């Protein structure tokens, strides 16, 4: 966990970061491979029983060239079981584990047909229920029952099903341990994030495992663009240029994200999705307002109606899809047109029956046209990007002196407030929230990467002197920062086949697997 770069970056922003079993396509592959493994183990047990319980004349008389040999799975399974238990149980019980899981002795008993599987499964169930969460006790009992049934009835399929349940049980225990460690060490992991990332990425650059040339060129281009902005930049100009670039990445689809932002890609894409939702909501708002003004003979306040209409529009476009957000909105333009036309007619005092098919189709054509135009000229998106950038710059100046944990905790409280306001429904995209997320990502990222990739004193005419109000000692090199002492949780969690269980967004995208 200490050296997992995905975890060390994401824990700053994901306040419910936790490990979950592998899912998605990789999970499907894992389950398929596991199925083959357990089927093979069933056959292996039957061979052990066959060889131990009787002498087979056909086997003895068969020429060696016709005999089949296989790599045994059982010894490595016992060895892995032993290693897992030693990791998961306290030190006082580790000698007991070693004595009961002497692999050489167990395999000798298996080959001679004298292994007491029932005793072994009963001991395992007792050991695991002593150290697992109470909610897992039923698993342990089911595991022991399956193994016992298989051993007493000679049903190797049932016995192996019990072993499969045993390892699923151990995986769940290991996840519990790992997630407990994340909760326990969340604060020091976040506080150490700048120093850790500086050291990690500095070594990756030195080993030529990261190419920062494109990122540096991207940043220089952002500096040139930002020079045209009228804001009073002062000592924050380099950082503001970076936020200008971040806002641009999030406002327009299809732009290549620089290599230095690789570990922030999923967050930037989610912001991009939210911006596109706001853009298309605004376009729907314009269409609705236009219809109301056209059909209503007197001025009317459509604000409350449109607030309800927005909720229905978001519900209609809240789908899991591999399509981009603009494609999702364009794909649902017909049902959106129906909702908008009916709501406008209600405000204007027209009944549902008075709306003609031509009027529905006109609304649909108008929506389709403005959605398509937006993806070409990015008019609404550019306006939103400017507003987001201005608010992110304001927040970035305020948060610059905050520690990484203070920023993370501020954002956690903000997100809790938003969740309470919106209840269980999908949260409405919000420009302030987007600006806060960009400012948080931007401050942490800049303190890591400014001197590593973006600012180069050797580039005459480009390097920007940082004022005291901007630097504040936070943009120091890795050697000038003091790392927190790494905490040892007492349990190993390396080598585990797991994902970080980050929230899956509505289009099926997910954070990069650990």
- 284 within 8 A of 318, measured Cβ to Cβ: no
Strand ranges (DSSP E) for 315-469? none
Phi, psi of 499 (to 5 degrees): -110, 160
Tokens of 108: 């000798």
- 203 within 8 A of 478, measured Cβ to Cβ: no
Closest CA to 482 of 473, 493, 492: 473
- 7 within 8 A of 17, measured Cβ to Cβ: yes
> Using CA atoms, how far apart are residues 268 and 482, in angstroms rounded to an integer?
29
> Using CA atoms, how far apart are residues 77 and 34, in angstroms rounded to an integer?
13
Please give the pLDDT value at position 512: 34
Closest CA to 269 of 8, 19, 458, 502: 502
Closest CA to 12 of 189, 177, 267: 189
Helices and strands of the chain, counted as H and E runs: 22, 2
Where are the chain's structural domains?
5-187
- 150 within 8 A of 159, measured Cβ to Cβ: yes
Tokens of 5: 């770069």
Half-sphere exposure of 118 (CA within 13 A, CB side): 8
> Using CA atoms, how far apart are residues 470 and 483, in angstroms rounded to an integer?
22
Please give the pLDDT value at position 191: 96
Which stretch of DSSP H or E encloses residue 19? strand 19-21
Please give the pLDDT value at position 138: 84
Which three-class secondary structure state does DSSP give residue 55?
coil
Please give the pLDDT value at position 289: 87
Q: Is the dihedral of CA 329, 331, 337, 340 positive or negative?
A: negative
pLDDT tens string 1-46? 889 999 999 999 999 999 988 888 899 999 999 999 999 999 999 9
Which three-class secondary structure state does DSSP give residue 498?
strand
Strand ranges (DSSP E) for 361-459? none
> Using CA atoms, how far apart are residues 272 and 357, in angstroms rounded to an integer?
35
Cα separations (Å) of 260 from 14, 127, 198?
20, 47, 12
Q: Is the dihedral of CA 365, 371, 377, 382 positive or negative?
A: positive
Find tokens 């002497």 and name the residue. 102
> Using CA atoms, how far apart are residues 166 and 426, in angstroms rounded to an integer?
38
Cα separations (Å) of 11 from 17, 19, 191, 355, 384?
6, 12, 10, 52, 28
> Using CA atoms, how far apart are residues 3 and 100, in angstroms rounded to an integer?
33
Please give the pLDDT value at position 96: 92
Q: Is 92 exposed, middle or buried (0-12, 13-18, 19+ CB in 10 A)?
A: exposed
Find tokens 């004349």 and name the residue. 57
- 506 within 8 A of 314, measured Cβ to Cβ: no
Cα separations (Å) of 235 from 124, 172, 323, 399, 445?
64, 51, 42, 15, 18
Cα separations (Å) of 234 from 44, 128, 238?
73, 62, 9
**265 torsion bin: left (phi>0), alpha (psi -120 to 50), beta (else):** alpha
- 174 within 8 A of 84, measured Cβ to Cβ: yes
> Using CA atoms, how far apart are residues 258 and 263, in angstroms rounded to an integer?
10
pTM above 0.85, yes or no: no
- 82 within 8 A of 93, measured Cβ to Cβ: no
Could you say which residues of the chain have pLDDT below 50? Answer: 458-514
Half-sphere exposure of 504 (CA within 13 A, CB side): 13
The 8-class DSSP code of residue 430 comes to -
Phi, psi of 87 (to 5 degrees): -70, -35
> Using CA atoms, how far apart are residues 28 and 287, in angstroms rounded to an integer?
44
Find tokens 């409280």 and name the residue. 413
> Using CA atoms, how far apart are residues 201 and 5, in angstroms rounded to an integer?
10
């Amino acid at each position: 966990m200490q050296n997992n770069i995905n975890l060390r970056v994401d824990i700053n922003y994901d306040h419910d970061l936790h490990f979950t079993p592998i899912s998605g396509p990789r999970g499907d592959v894992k389950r398929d491979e596991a199925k083959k493994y357990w089927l093979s183990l069933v056959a292996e047990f039957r061979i052990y029983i066959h060889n131990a319980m009787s002498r087979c004349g056909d086997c003895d008389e068969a020429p060696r060239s016709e005999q089949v040999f296989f790599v045994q799975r059982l010894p490595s399974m016992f060895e892995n079981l032993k290693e897992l238990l030693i990791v998961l149980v306290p030190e006082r019980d580790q000698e007991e584990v070693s004595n009961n899981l002497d692999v050489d002795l167990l395999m000798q008993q298996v080959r001679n047909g004298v292994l007491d599987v029932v005793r072994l499964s009963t001991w395992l169930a007792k050991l695991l229920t002593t150290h697992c969460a109470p909610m897992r006790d039923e698993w342990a009992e089911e595991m022991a029952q399956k193994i016992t049934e298989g051993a007493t009835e000679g049903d190797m399929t049932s016995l192996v099903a019990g072993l499969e349940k045993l390892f699923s049980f151990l995986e769940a225990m290991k996840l519990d341990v790992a997630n407990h460690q994340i909760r326990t060490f969340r604060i020091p992991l976040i506080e150490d994030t700048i120093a850790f990332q500086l050291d990690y990425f500095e070594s990756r650059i030195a080993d030529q495992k990261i190419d920062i040339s494109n990122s540096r060129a991207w940043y220089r281009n952002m500096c040139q663009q930002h020079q045209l902005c009228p804001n009073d930049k002062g000592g924050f100009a380099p950082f503001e240029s970076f936020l200008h670039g971040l806002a641009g990445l999030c406002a327009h689809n299809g732009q290549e994200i620089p290599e230095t932002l690789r570990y922030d890609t999923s967050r930037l894409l989610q912001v991009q999705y939210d911006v596109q939702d706001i853009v298309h909501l605004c376009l729907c708002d314009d269409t609705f307002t236009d219809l109301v003004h056209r059909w209503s003979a007197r001025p009317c306040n459509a604000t409350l109606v449109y607030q309800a209409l927005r909720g229905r529009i978001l519900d209609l476009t809240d789908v899991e899809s591999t399509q981009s957000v603009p494609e999702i909105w364009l794909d649902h333009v017909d049902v959106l047109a129906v909702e908008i036309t009916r709501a406008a007619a209600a405000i204007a005092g027209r009944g549902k029956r008075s709306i003609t098919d031509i009027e529905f189709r006109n609304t649909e054509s108008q929506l389709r046209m403005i959605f398509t135009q937006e993806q070409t000229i990015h008019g609404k998106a550019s306006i939103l990007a400017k507003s987001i950038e201005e608010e992110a710059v304001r927040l970035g100046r305020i948060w610059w002196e905050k520690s990484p944990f203070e920023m993370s905790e501020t954002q956690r409280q903000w997100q809790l407030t938003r969740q309470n306001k919106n209840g269980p429904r999908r949260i409405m995209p919000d420009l302030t929230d987007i600006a806060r997320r960009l400012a948080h990502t931007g401050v942490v990222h800049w303190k890591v990467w400014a001197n590593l990739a973006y600012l180069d004193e050797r580039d005459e005419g480009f390097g920007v002197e940082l004022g005291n109000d901007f630097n504040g000692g936070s943009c120091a090199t890795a050697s000038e920062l003091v790392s927190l002492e790494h905490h040892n949780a007492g349990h190993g969690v390396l080598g585990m086949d797991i994902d970080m269980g980050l929230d899956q967004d509505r289009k099926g995208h997910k954070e990069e697997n650990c």
